[in-house]
A and B are shown apart, each in its own frame.
Chain A
Amino acid sequence: MISHLPTPRRLTAASICALALLSAAPIRAEPAVEVHLTYANGAFQPSEVRAPANKPVVFRVKNLDAKAMEFESTSLRVEKVVPSKAEGIVNVRPLQPGRYQFYDDFNQKARGVLTVQ
């Protein structure tokens, strides 16, 4: 029965291939810029950081508090749970110039901003 109906199958296969190619497109072999953050007493140190435009960014988040935190950002589209007394590494794509807010999803009063120029 399905053999009489090739169009949806072909379209599905084509879309999967297209998405695979599209998702691979943003990956570039460029050196990443490291941004170091410390999380202590429920706050980011520093709370404002900078990075150059169009280069991948790596956040290294050191959690010095006694409980886990979750580094999260809607605009950066990343999240990472960092256990107590541990370091979390968060890879971010090359970014356009602008301000990108980040926060601890377990304590949303703890916030910071990445400015990309």
Chain B
Amino acid sequence: MRGIVGFARHAGVVSGALVTLLCLGGVARAEDPNDWLDIETKYIFGFTTGSGIGIEGEKEFTVDSIGRFGKRDGHYAATETKYEYEFTPSQFVQIEFGALGTTHNIGGVTGLDNRNSAGFGGGFAEFRYLALERTSSNPLSVTLAFEPNARFIDETSGERVHNYEFETSLNSDLELVHNRLYAGFDLLYEPEVTETRLGDTVREATLGGSAALSFRIVPNVLIGGEVWYLRHYDSPTLSDFTGDAIMLGPTLYVQFTPKTFMVAAWNYQVWGRETGTPLALNLSEFQRNRARLKFAWEF
């Protein structure tokens, strides 16, 4: 845990310095937001995904890491990194696919084996369809997304499994102030089935929604915050509720050049419950903290 806090402090200082430098550069230009170029909204909300689908013919390679830290006891750190190729074949559809890399550092957590491992975790694909596009007279934009995943390593425990997940989401965003302030909203339904090494089959689902705000302080930097409400079920049909959680945290988006950008986000569980226990927070199905760091190169 001390390592995570240290990492968070270090990342915070670096991010703060970076934003300050970029802000100073932006302020020096003293531009009118009405003169700024339109921004792609997909990645400006942290874990919340905006409606953007890119530009027809555009290709992108990204490295997208999500870390999950903290269980009820012991020490727990797990990461999943997507090595992703993304392209936009038409003005309404975006396709992504790639490989998953995982790491697990677990010690003394009740219900989980101690583990210190890294490996190839599986693969995924994502299909996005822009259902409603933003225009200068309509600030709302909506995209439907489907993301099948196949994993060989369990996201939480790090055990070898066969896991199939089908994430379905609705990503929408609203331009509240032209070129300045954006609101993002996601709805998520994520059924999955897992076969363990012992031959057990586990079916479960996560249902959730998020709301985010992102403020464009200078043309190439947006900062904001988001809140997620997540519910977990031991059934894809949502019939067996096991607990829920609320996660809250800041977001950062930095466009380094017209073709490169980064996303950083941190969510902290502020409230949660597990059915059948009086304990605060839900640390069985979710985690105390999660962080996202993504770098992208368009070409």
Residue contact B92 to A74, C-beta cutoff 8 Å:
no
The B interface, classified by DSSP as helix, strand, loop or mixed, is loop
Contact with A along B37-69 (1 / 0, CB 8 A): 111100000000000011111100000000000
Question: Within B121-152, which residues are at the interface with A (CB < 8 Å)?
Answer: 127, 129, 133-138, 146, 148
- Give every chain A residue within 8 A of B127 (Cβ-Cβ): 15-16, 19
Q: B37 contacts A79, CB within 8 Å?
A: no
Which residues in B have their C-beta under 8 angstroms from that of A22?
Answer: 92-93, 129
Are A74 and B166 neighbours in the complex by a CB distance under 8 Å?
no
B201, CB-defined interface residue at 8 Å: yes
Interface size class of B (residues with CB under 8 A): 35 or more
Is A97 an interface residue, CB under 8 A from the partner? Answer: yes
A75 to chain B: closest residue by CB: B38
Closest chain-A Cβ to B95's Cβ sits at a distance in Å of 9
In the complex, chain B residues whose CB is within 8 Å of the CB of A29? none
Whether A96 contacts B135 in the complex (CB less than 8 A), given A12-B148, A22-B129, comes out as: yes
Residue in B55, B191, B201 whose beta carbon sits within 8 Å of that of A72 in the complex? B55
Residue contact A101 to B37, C-beta cutoff 8 Å: yes
For window 47-104 of chain A, which residues contact chain B by CB distance below 8 Å? 72-80, 92-93, 95-101, 103
Whether A7 touches B193, Cβ cut-off 8 Å, given contacts A77-B55, A96-B138, is: yes
Contact across chains for A23 and B129 when beta carbons are under 8 A apart: yes
Complex formed: what's the CA distance from A12 to B146 in Å? Answer: 8
Could you say which of A2, A8, A75 contacts B165, with CB atoms under 8 Å apart? A8
Q: Does B258 have its Cβ within 8 Å of any Cβ on chain A?
A: yes
Complex alpha-carbon distance, A25 and B90, angstroms: 11
- Minimal beta-carbon separation of B160 from chain A (angstroms): 13
Is A80 touching B57 in the complex (CB atoms < 8 A)? yes
B166 to chain A: which residues have CB within 8 Å?
7-8, 11-12
Contact A96 B129 (CB under 8 A): no
7 closest pairs, A vs B, by CB?
A: A98-B135, A98-B136, A74-B38, A15-B146, A8-B164, A23-B93, A12-B148
- Chain A positions within 8 Å of B, measured between CB atoms, are 1-2, 4-5, 7-9, 11-12, 15-16, 19, 22-23, 25-26, 72-80, 92-93, 95-101, 103, 105, 108, 111
- Chain B positions within 8 Å of A, measured between CB atoms, are 37-40, 53-58, 88-93, 127, 129, 133-138, 146, 148, 162, 164-166, 191-193, 195, 201, 236, 258
A-B contact pairs, 7 of them (CB 8 A): A4-B195, A5-B193, A23-B92, A73-B38, A74-B55, A77-B53, A97-B137
